[in-house]
Structure 1
Amino acid sequence: MEKLEDQIQGDEIDELDHISRVALLIDDLSNEDPHAKLHSIQRLTQIAQLLGPERCIDELIPMLTELIDRIDNNPELMLNLADQLGKLADYLGQEANSVHLLKPLELILSSDDSVVREKAVASLKIAGERISSETIYTEYMPLVKKMRKGDLFSMRISACFLYAFIYKRLDNERKQYTRGKFEKLSKDDTPMVRRGAAQSLSILADSLNDQELAKTYLLPILKALLSDDNDSVKIQAVGASVKVAKLIDDQAVVKSEIIPPLRTAVDNKMVSWRLRFSVAEIAADLAGQVSKEIADTDIIGYYETLIQDKEPEVRSEAVAKLPELAKNCSPSAIVERILPILNSYTVNDQSMHVKGSLALTICELSKYIGQKNTLDFIIPPVTQLLKDSPTEVKITLMTHMKTLAEIIGDKEFDNHIIPGIISLSTDKIWRVKLAVIQFIPNLAEFIPAQLFQDRLESHVFGWLSDPVFQVREESIQILIKLKEKIFDQKWLEDNIERKCQEFHQHEKFGIRIHTIFLISKVADNVSQGFLNEKLIPYLVKLGRDPVPNIRFNVSKAIEKLYPKLTNSNKLSCQEVLQEMEKDEKDFDVKYYAEKALKAFII
C-alpha cells in the first residue's frame, strides 16, 4: 500500500513538473530573447496537448496571432511558427475547429520571404482539408479573395496556391469562378505572381482531372506562361507541362502546342541555363505521355541538344534521365541518335558530374536496347569509364554492374568487364582498391561461382597482404561475406590455412605479421576445432619470431583468443608467453606477455 501511495505521489510530482515546464514555454512566447521564443514555438504541440482543444482555441491561438506582429521581421521564427500552426490542427479536437488557424496563417501569408510563405501555404492546405464545406465558403474563400486583391505581390502569390489547393472541394459554380480568378492571376503584371501561378498550375491540374478543361482552360494558360518574357516564370511552367500533357488525350495537341515551346527553350542559348535544365528534368517523363513515334522524332530531337549543352549541369541532368527516356522511346531511336553522342562526346566530358551521371545510368540503359546493341554501344564507354575516370565515377559504375551482367551474359561479362575490374584491383589509389573489394560480394552474386574462382579469387586473397591497413581489414570482412553468401565454411578455412602457411614463413616480417591479424579477425567465423588444430600452431611458432613487434602482437592475439583455446593449446601458448616474459631486451614484448599471462591465471 505504501509503495502504491509513493507511486501515485511520484506521478503527481511528474505531472506538476510537466505543467510547470509547459507554463515556462508559454511565458517564453512573450520573451524578448528570440532564442527563447524559438524554443517555445518549436514545442507548441506539447503546449497544445496539455491545454486541450478548448483552451488552444480560446487562449493559445489568439496569443500566437498577436505574436506574429512582433516577430514578422525574424524569418526563422516566422518559418517555425508557420510550420507549427499546421501541426496544431491535430490538437484542436474536431476537424472543423481547424478554421481557427486561418487567421494567424493569413497574417503569415503576406510575408516577403518565399520559404516562410510556402510553409504557411502548406499549413493552410492542412487546415483547408479539415474544415467543413460550409466554412470553405464563409471563411476560406473570403481569405483567398483578400489575398488575391492584396497590394503586396506576396499575397497574390499565396492566392494562386490556395485556389489550386481548394479547387477540388468546391461546387461547380465556384469552380468556374476560381478558374477565372486563377487565370487572371496567371496574367498578373508582376513576374513573381505569374511564377507562382505557373508553379501552382501542377496542383490545379491534379485537382481538375478533366480532359476537356485541360485543352480549353489549362493549355492556353500553360502556353502563355511558357512564352513569358521572364525565364523564372517559364521554368515553373515547364514543370507543369507534364501534368497538363497527362490530362490531354489528343497527342497531336501535345505535339503541336506543348513540345514546340520546350524545343525553343532548348535551342535558345541566350536564355537562362536553368530553363534548359528544367526541360532536361521533364523531357523523359513527357515522352511517356505521347506515342513512341512522337517521342522518337520530337523529344529525342531536342534531347540530342540537351546532352551536348554548354552547361555541365544541363548535360548531367539530361544524362541522368536517359534510362527513363529509353523506356519511353524505341530502341532504334536511342541507338541511332543518343548512344553515338555518349560514345564520342559524353564519355570524354571534362565534368565529373556528367561522368558521374553517365556511370549511374549507362548500365541501366542496356535493359532497353538488347544484348547486341549493349555490346556495341554500352560496353565501350563502360570500359573507358573504368580506365580513365575519377575514383567516385568508377565506384558508382561498379555498383550498377549487375544489370549489365544480366543483359550481356557471363561469357561477355568475363571478356569485357572483368579485366577492367582486375586492373582496378591493383590500382595505385587505395580507395579504388577498397571500392573494388566492397563490390566483390555483389559481383559474386551475379556471376557463376566457378568464374569467380577462376578469375577473381586469387586477387581477393592477394589483398590480405596489401600494404594499406584499410584494404587488408576490408578484404577479411569480404571473405567472411563470401563464405556466407556464395561459398561455404570449408572454402573459407582451406584458404585461410593456405594464406597463413604462406604468410608465417615469409622472409619479410611485414608479411609474417599479417598471419596474426588474419587469425584474430577470422577466429569467430571458423570452427573451434579448425582454430585450435590449424591456426593456433602458427601463433605459437610466431611467438618465437626474432622480430619483437611480431612477438608482442602474438601476446595480444593469445589474450584475445584464450577462451577458445583447448587445454593443450593453452599450455603451448602459456609456455611461449613465459619465454617472452623473460625477455629483458624489449619492454613491449615483456609487458604484453605478462598482460596475456594474467588471463591464464584467472
Structure 2
Amino acid sequence: MAGADGDDSLYPIAVLIDELRNEDVQLRLNSIKKLSTIALALGVERTRTELLPFLTDTIYDEDEVLLALAEQLGNFTMLVGGPEYVHCLLPPLESLATVEETVVRDKAVESLRKISHEHSPVDLEVHFEPLTLVMPTLRQAAEDKSWRVRYMVADKFSELQKAVGPEITKNDLVPAFQNLLKDCEAEVRAAAANKVKEFCENLPEDSRETIIMTHILPCVKELVSDTNQHVKSALASVIMGLSTILGKDNTIEHLLPLFLAQLKDECPEVRLNIISNLDCVNEVIGIRQLSQSLLPAIVELAEDAKWRVRLAIIEYMPLLAGQLGVEFFDEKLNSLCMAWLVDHVYAIREAATCNLTKLVEKFGAEWAQNTIVPKVLGMANDPNYLHRMTTLFCINALSEACGQEITTKHMLPVVLKMSNDQVANVRFNVAKSLQKIGPVLDSNCLQTEVKPVLEKLAADQDIDVKYFAQEAISGKMPQ
C-alpha cells in the first residue's frame, strides 16, 4: 500500500479519495468493498480518526455504493479497536440511515442493530440511545411534511412500539398512531390501518381495553367508510382480529356493526377480507350470534339486484362455508347455492355450478350425495329447458369430485333419460355430458349404457346433436 514518494502513511486515504471521486461507479463500488483492507493498513487509530470522519463527511454517491458502505460498516467493530470504540461507527451509519433510498436506509439500520449488541450497557446509553434523541425524532417523523416519511413510520410502527416500551407507548405512540390513522394521505392511512390489530395486541395489558375503546376504535369507525378502497381493504384484513382482544360483549356491541358495514362494501376485496377472517369472530361470540348478525347481510348480497354483486358472493361461498362449517352451511346457505343455479343470468348459473364443485371438494362426496346431488337431479324435470341444461352442466362439474359410484348410480341414469328431451340444445348437451363424464365410468358401463345412447343421438335429425354425439363416440368410446 506504500507509495514511491511522499508520506507513505497518507497513501491509503489518498488512494481512496481518488477512487471515490472517479467517474466509474464500478470502481467506486470496488473501493468501498475493500474498505476492510484499507482499515487494516491504516490501523485502528487512523481508521477512527481519519477514515470514518472522511466517510461520514464526504460521501454523496450512487445508491449501490452507499448500500455497500452501509453493509461494510456493520462488520467494522474490530477494525476500529473492538467494542470499546464501536460507537465511532455510529456517525456514518446514522448518516446513511437518513438517505432517500429505502434499501440503503434499511441496510444502515440493520448494521446499527448489529453493532448495538456490541456496545456495553453504559456506552449504549451514552452513545447509541441519544441518536438524534429517539422520541423527538419519532414525533417529528410522524408529522413530517413528506408523506413517504409518515408512511415509513406507520409501516414500522409495531417495531417502534416494541422498542420504546409500554410507558412511552401510552404517552407518545397512542396519539401518534391516532394521527397516522387520520392522515391526509391514503397511503399513510392504509399502512397505519394494516397495523391496527398488531398495535392493539402490543398495548400494555392493564390499559389495553381502555386505550382501544377510547382512542383507537373511534378512528377505526371512521376508516370503515374511508373514501379510499385500499384503506378500507387494509382495515378489513385485520379488524376481525380485534374481537379476540376486546372480548364477546365489546365485539357484539361495537365491532359487529363495523363488520356488517364492511360486508356490504362496494369493494370486493373489503368483503373478501371480512369473510376470510370470520373464524376469529366465531371463536369469540359463537356461531349462533354470528349467524344472527351476519347472515342477513350475506343473504342480502346473495339476492342483490346487481348480478355482479351476486357473482362476488358466490365466489366467496366456498371460503365462507369453510369458515362456518357444514352444519351451519346446510342450515343457512345451501338453499342460496341452489337458487343461484336457476338465476336468470348465465354467468351466475355458471359460477354457481363451479361453486358446487368446490363445496364437494371441501365437504366430501357423501355430503354431496345426501345434500346436493338430489336437488341437482331434480332440475332435470324442470319445465324451463335452461334449468334442465344446468342439470347437465352440474353433472359435468360434479362427476369427478363425486367419483365413479355416485356418478354411475345416480347421475348417469338422469343424463341417459335426458337424451329423449324435446329440445335439441338439451340433447346435444347430453352428448357433451356423456363425453365429459366418460373417464369417470368403467368400460362395461360405457359399452352397455353410454354407447347405445350416443349412437341413437348420432342419428338425430338435428345437425348439432349429430355432430356432438359423433365427437363423443370417436373421442371417448372404446373401439
Sort the TM-score into its range (normalised by shorter chain).
0.7 to 0.9
Task: Report the counterpart of residue 208 of structure 1 in structure 2.
Answer: 116
Deviations 1:455-482 (CA, angstroms, capped at 9, x unpaired): 1122233334442165134213222223
How do 1:378-393 residues align onto structure 2 when only pairs under 5 Å count? 378-393=255-270
2:224 matched to 1:321? no
Letter in 2 for 1:310: C
> For residues 534 and 262 of structure 1, do their structure 2 counterparts lie closer, same or farther at Cα, with a shift above 3 Å needed?
same
Letter in 1 for 2:232: K
2:428 matched to 1:552? yes
> For residues 513 and 139 of structure 1, do their structure 2 counterparts lie closer, same or farther at Cα, with a shift above 3 Å needed?
farther
Cα deviation, residue 363, structure 1:
0.7
- Contact 1:198-1:222 within 8 A present in 2 as well: no
Equivalent of residue 74 in structure 2, options 165, 177, 180: 165
Letter in 2 for 1:557: S
How do 1:189-228 residues align onto structure 2 when only pairs under 5 Å count? 200-209=108-117, 210=119, 211-223=121-133
Mapped partners of 1:112, 1:454: distance in 2: 72
Partner secondary structure for residue 369 of structure 1: helix
Partner secondary structure for residue 166 of structure 1: coil
Task: Report the counterpart of residue 148 of structure 1 in structure 2.
Answer: 55
> For residues 490 and 507 of structure 1, do their structure 2 counterparts lie closer, same or farther at Cα, with a shift above 3 Å needed?
same
In structure 2, runs of 5+ residues without a counterpart are 1-14
Deviations 1:348-373 (CA, angstroms, capped at 9, x unpaired): 11011110111111011222222222
2:443 matched to 1:535? no
Task: Report the counterpart of residue 236 of structure 2 in structure 1.
Answer: 359
Partner secondary structure for residue 306 of structure 1: helix
- Contact 1:405-1:413 within 8 A present in 2 as well: yes
- Contact 1:364-1:404 within 8 A present in 2 as well: yes
Mapped partners of 1:527, 1:162: distance in 2: 58
Cα deviation, residue 522, structure 1:
1.9
Deviations 1:280-320 (CA, angstroms, capped at 9, x unpaired): 22333222234434322321122111111111111111111
Cα deviation, residue 342, structure 1:
1.6
How do 1:6-85 residues align onto structure 2 when only pairs under 5 Å count? none
Mapped partners of 1:312, 1:275: distance in 2: 14
How do 1:119-518 residues align onto structure 2 when only pairs under 5 Å count? 137-138=40-41, 148=55, 153-154=60-61, 157=66, 161=70, 164-170=73-79, 172=81, 176=85, 179-180=87-88, 182-183=90-91, 200-209=108-117, 210=119, 211-223=121-133, 258-267=134-143, 271-329=145-203, 330-343=208-221, 345-427=222-304, 432-466=309-343, 467-468=346-347, 470-484=350-364, 489-518=365-394
Task: Report the counterpart of residue 4 of structure 2 in structure 1.
Answer: none
- Contact 2:73-2:89 within 8 A present in 1 as well: no
Mapped partners of 2:67, 2:52: distance in 1: 11
Partner secondary structure for residue 303 of structure 2: coil
Cα deviation, residue 569, structure 1:
7.2
> For residues 481 and 601 of structure 1, do their structure 2 counterparts lie closer, same or farther at Cα, with a shift above 3 Å needed?
closer
Cα deviation, residue 196, structure 1:
6.6
> For residues 154 and 450 of structure 1, do their structure 2 counterparts lie closer, same or farther at Cα, with a shift above 3 Å needed?
same
Mapped partners of 1:413, 1:592: distance in 2: 49
- Contact 1:375-1:408 within 8 A present in 2 as well: yes
Mapped partners of 2:451, 2:229: distance in 1: 57
Mapped partners of 2:478, 2:165: distance in 1: 81
- Contact 2:67-2:107 within 8 A present in 1 as well: no
> When the two structures are aligned, how many residues end up with a matched partner?
445
> For residues 381 and 147 of structure 1, do their structure 2 counterparts lie closer, same or farther at Cα, with a shift above 3 Å needed?
same
Return the TM-score normalized by structure 2: 0.79
> For residues 496 and 367 of structure 1, do their structure 2 counterparts lie closer, same or farther at Cα, with a shift above 3 Å needed?
closer
Mapped partners of 1:375, 1:342: distance in 2: 16
Which structure is richer in relative contact order (CA contacts within 8 A, separation 6 or more)? 2
> For residues 582 and 153 of structure 1, do their structure 2 counterparts lie closer, same or farther at Cα, with a shift above 3 Å needed?
closer
How do 1:578-597 residues align onto structure 2 when only pairs under 5 Å count? 578-584=455-461, 586-597=462-473
Mapped partners of 1:109, 1:511: distance in 2: 78
In structure 1, runs of 5+ residues without a counterpart are 1-102, 224-257
> For residues 516 and 148 of structure 1, do their structure 2 counterparts lie closer, same or farther at Cα, with a shift above 3 Å needed?
same
Cα deviation, residue 152, structure 1:
5.3
Moved more, 306-315 or 566-575: 566-575
- Contact 2:240-2:278 within 8 A present in 1 as well: yes
- Contact 1:551-1:589 within 8 A present in 2 as well: yes
Task: Report the counterpart of residue 251 of structure 1 in structure 2.
Answer: none
Return the TM-score normalized by structure 1: 0.64
Mapped partners of 2:72, 2:478: distance in 1: 81
Mapped partners of 1:164, 1:175: distance in 2: 16
- RMSD of equivalent CA atoms: 4.0
- Contact 2:416-2:453 within 8 A present in 1 as well: yes
Mapped partners of 2:174, 2:299: distance in 1: 37
Task: Report the counterpart of residue 18 of structure 1 in structure 2.
Answer: none
